[in-house]
A and B are shown apart, each in its own frame.
Chain A
Amino acid sequence: MADTNTLQYTAKDFKSDQEVRWCPGCGDHGILASLQKTLADMGVPKEKYVFVSGIGCSSRLPYYMNTYGFHGIHGRAAAIATGVKIANPDLMVWEMTGDGDALAIGGNHFIHAVRRNIDIKILLFNNEIYGLTKGQYSPTSQRGLVTKTSPFGTIEEPFKVGELTIGAHGRFFARTVDYNLQLSGEVYREAGIFKGTAVVEVIQNCVIFNDGVHEAITNKEFRDDRTIVLRHGQPMIFGKEHDRGLILDGIKLKVVKIGENGITEKDLLVHDAEEANPGIHYMLAGMQYPDYPFALGVIRAVKSQTYDDAMIEQHKQVQSASKIRSVDDLLMSGSTWEVE
């Protein structure tokens, strides 16, 4: 990427002239603001950013970014973004998607992008509902949710974004909350810097059709007691009083109170986002309140070769060995004969 010292942007430079049309109070406003601020500080030239999206409320975001943008069709953002990145690996590609877009109609593209480890950043706005079509259940809706298409409650199990990502061989998974601009900025930046498919689940509130769905973990009164922010190299500690933590008990995680039963901070697990073995990351991503604190921050960030880099490397290898340098060479290669 470009020289980072000469670029002086502010969030305003990333605001397009389009009127933002999300509902007042929608969590998307916070996501947009936080992204614009983060990008301004990333040191990447503005013309290198491409925002790709599918369909849904989340997918309107590219229109509001004064960068290159592509508003795709429902579910296909990951495929479009893949094409953009492979065509021009010099670009920094961000995909904006939602729980319906990425995990229902676009589930196939999502898992395969993650599996290939294409260097794209996927922000998945998870409000557990279809908002743009006015309130139907989504693949992340909790079992039993009553919506217009599940008037007696859903009878299906939801996907958990982190489990799906790690299950698809994901190397980067992080989580943040729409209104938490500081944590979001931190997480978006980490995703931006990471080389590979970076999945960020943004816990987002749909103020109209699923208002308060994340209330149990996002309410200011108890959020510190019900969430844990994971940071690489730091002990897994949480709570308003910083008095609780996580340990490994047998093969399961366990919440403990520091000071009780002789537990000290030294007994707590230290977060290692870079560990390739997905075991602990999978458990952390799956933690649900009330049994566990809900995990935020960068849960997994394991370096490995990206698809786009591997393609460049393979091209170089083949090119150094091949005698074919032009189409003329190709046309004349193999079995030919001359008619005189």
Chain B
Amino acid sequence: MGKRSKVIERDAVVIRFSGDSGDGMQLTGTLFSNTSALFGHDLSTFPDYPAEIRAPQGTVGGVSGFQVHIGHKQINTPGDYPDILVAMNPAAIRANAGWLKPGATIIYDTDSFTEKNIQRAGYKQDPFAEDKIETLNLIGAPITTLVKETLKDLDIDPKTVLRTKNMFALGMVYWLFDSQLDYTEKFIDDKFGKKPVVAEANSMVLRAGYYYAETIEALTPSYRVLPAPIAKGVYRNINGNQATAWGFLAAAEKAGLKLFIGSYPITPATGILEELALRKDLGVKSLQCEDEIAGICTAIGASYAGNLAVTTTSGPGLALKSEALNLAVMTELPLVVVDVQRGGPSTGLPTKTEQADLWQALYGRNGESPVVVIAAGTPSDCFHFAFESAKIAVEHMTPVLLLTDSYLANGSEPWKIPSMKDLPAVKVPFAVSDDKEFLAYERDPETLARKWAIPGTPGLEHRVGGLEKTKKGSVSYTPENHEYMVRMREEKVERIQSEVPDLKITGDKNADLLVIGWGSSYGHILTAVTELKEEGYTVAATHFNYIRPLPKNCEEVFSGFKKLVVCELNNGQFANYLRMKYQKFTFTQYNKIQGLPFTVREIKDHCITLLEGK
């Protein structure tokens, strides 16, 4: 195609697509990401959308964004600030004005900058001047006019015409990166296969955007990001919710069990239920329940009857499930509860990310209630930790709480596809009928797990329930028996520590500062610490995925450092947990509670402050 006057080679670029929630920005971002991945970039994405499906048009509250970070090097975060912002209206400028890189390029639709839209976004007259970003590389294109012109000969209604505006913008961005259009064109054909004229319209506009960018040449310099040197293998893009669902499928297949999911729709967890509802080909029994409580109770029933049972939710739903979660603690049945955390308390910030359900996961139930708590670190390793959660639940006959969050659930990254033969076995502790009387709470001497007696098996008839039981399974209020059983349930969970991998340290194990994270802050902390090291600071990072039980070597790791800082997206829940467990150390904390992930910059700045003793 056209000759480029100036091309800049970059290791990594961050692009943010931003517009009204009806402008199709999530789709545009996803198509760009997939095209980049197919080219061989490493990448990480972060959709950021309003809770309302259609907030008032043109308002800042209705802005939907999708950020993607592509790179020639390893990419661990969706990027702090964009190099390129695609803004479909003035509200998108307002929503992002404070979050742009110096020298960033803004591609915007000049047609949408009407007096009405400018005022609706909270500006008086000139958005760029009022937000003091007029010195950036501003590329205005009359996208609405050009789209109408492009499609004037097609027999198509005006509403559909305007819906293709996102494809024009996407075409422009593709030109900027010298990308291929074929993936997107194939997607358009598949999506609108039944409406050929709509498919044709979208493809025409996509190409029109591409050629427009070429013609005006205003978009120079254009970027070149070479493919990343990633390990050999077959890859796909995967987001956290899909990876979680697939991890359970893998565990069920390895265990030879049917997978059951009982859930109730709740943002941002619903994607897991939707994904598993698709998998009837793999025998998944998915049940959309009447409420959160039924979600977990059907799962408990299914577990009792011998399925690998999971239920998925977010913070408010976990609160509703807590009584039933204790029923699984008491009946000692395998169960995985996924909490895709969002901003709380109460309904809170349904579409925003937070790590503030940690205490709820650890402590939010009546009585002495030990459950395993695991937290995934990246979108793709939700697969691994869902698999591990299910494996532990089954092998140790215990409920497991898997914490992910909105950032992981919706964020995506390329994932090297594993082969099932390389995953570990899941050994199911089935009870076997013999001449002896079956004792429901007889324990494996090593793991303390009881046996799983599946209804339908002759000779293993037994009763379980929420009342305290004896080894035999009879109801008992005997004081000594209660204390014994409380200690057994606790000890059973603690013994899982022997299977928890040791903490790893990124950096020098005797550095001045150890940055401690858990769950989804993995990428940001890793990037921050890696960059700080390159800049000459003596700093290291360690990351927790196992919250209960904790890894064996925590004390040993903490001992090596002068200062410890726990970074988390809450008010210090993990820091306080560590203070309780390891009282001889001083944990400082760095917290952000804005419904947003950390930026790498924030973590670096805080570390520098600590290191320089300010």
A residues contacting B by CB (< 8 A) are 16, 18, 45-48, 50, 52, 55, 62-63, 66-73, 76, 79-88, 90-91, 108-109, 112, 311, 314-315, 318-319, 322, 324-328, 330-332, 334-340
- How many residues on B have C-beta within 8 angstroms of the other chain's C-beta atoms? 68
A-B pairs with beta carbons under 8 A, tally: 202
The answer for the CA separation of A108 and B465 in the assembled complex, in Å, is 21
The answer for the CA separation of A48 and B455 in the assembled complex, in Å, is 7
| Residues of A contacting B304 in the complex (Cβ-Cβ under 8 angstroms) | 50, 70, 80, 83-84, 87
Closest 7 CB pairs of A and B: A83-B301, A71-B465, A322-B281, A79-B297, A83-B298, A69-B463, A87-B302
B residues contacting A by CB (< 8 A) are 34, 37-38, 40, 183, 230-237, 246, 249-250, 253, 258, 260, 262, 279-283, 285, 287, 289-291, 293-294, 297-307, 309, 323-324, 327, 331, 417-420, 454-467, 474-475
Our pick among B237, B246, B294, B455 for the contact of A327 (Cβ within 8 Å) is B246
Q: Which residue of A lies closest to B290 (CB)?
A: A112
| Residues of A contacting B37 in the complex (Cβ-Cβ under 8 angstroms) | 337
Q: Which residue of A lies closest to B327 (CB)?
A: A73
| Residues of A contacting B417 in the complex (Cβ-Cβ under 8 angstroms) | 331-332, 336
Measured CB to CB, the closest approach of chain B to A149, in angstroms, equals 22
Measured CB to CB, the closest approach of chain B to A122, in angstroms, equals 14
Is there contact, CB below 8 Å, between A315 and B280?
A: yes
Measured CB to CB, the closest approach of chain B to A297, in angstroms, equals 30
Which secondary structure dominates chain B's binding surface? mixed
Measured CB to CB, the closest approach of chain B to A183, in angstroms, equals 28
Our pick among A63, A83, A315 for the contact of B463 (Cβ within 8 Å) is A63
Measured CB to CB, the closest approach of chain A to B285, in angstroms, equals 5
The answer for the CA separation of A67 and B327 in the assembled complex, in Å, is 20
* Given pairs A47-B459, A47-B460, A338-B235, 4 additional interface contacts (CB within 8 A): A66-B461, A85-B301, A87-B260, A319-B280
| Residues of B contacting A338 in the complex (Cβ-Cβ under 8 angstroms) | 233-235
| Residues of A contacting B231 in the complex (Cβ-Cβ under 8 angstroms) | 339
The answer for the CA separation of A18 and B294 in the assembled complex, in Å, is 29
Most buried by B among A85, A318, A340: A318
Our pick among A70, A71, A324, A335 for the contact of B38 (Cβ within 8 Å) is A335
| Residues of B contacting A328 in the complex (Cβ-Cβ under 8 angstroms) | 419-420
Is there contact, CB below 8 Å, between B250 and A327?
A: yes
Measured CB to CB, the closest approach of chain A to B123, in angstroms, equals 40
Is there contact, CB below 8 Å, between B281 and A80?
A: no
Is there contact, CB below 8 Å, between B305 and A339?
A: no
The answer for the CA separation of A325 and B279 in the assembled complex, in Å, is 10
Measured CB to CB, the closest approach of chain B to A294, in angstroms, equals 31
Is there contact, CB below 8 Å, between B465 and A72?
A: yes
29 A-B pairs whose Cβ atoms sit less than 8 Å apart in the complex: A16-B463, A18-B475, A55-B466, A69-B464, A69-B465, A70-B304, A70-B463, A73-B327, A73-B466, A76-B324, A83-B297, A84-B302, A87-B303, A87-B309, A88-B305, A109-B290, A319-B283, A322-B281, A324-B281, A325-B282, A328-B420, A330-B249, A330-B282, A331-B236, A335-B237, A336-B417, A337-B234, A339-B230, A339-B233
Measured CB to CB, the closest approach of chain B to A193, in angstroms, equals 19
The answer for the CA separation of A55 and B418 in the assembled complex, in Å, is 46
| Residues of A contacting B309 in the complex (Cβ-Cβ under 8 angstroms) | 83, 87
- Known interface pairs A68-B461, A322-B281; A87-B305 also in contact (CB < 8 Å): yes
The answer for the CA separation of A68 and B297 in the assembled complex, in Å, is 17
Is there contact, CB below 8 Å, between B305 and A83?
A: yes
- Known interface pairs A80-B297, A82-B298; A18-B474 also in contact (CB < 8 Å): yes
Is there contact, CB below 8 Å, between A109 and B281?
A: no
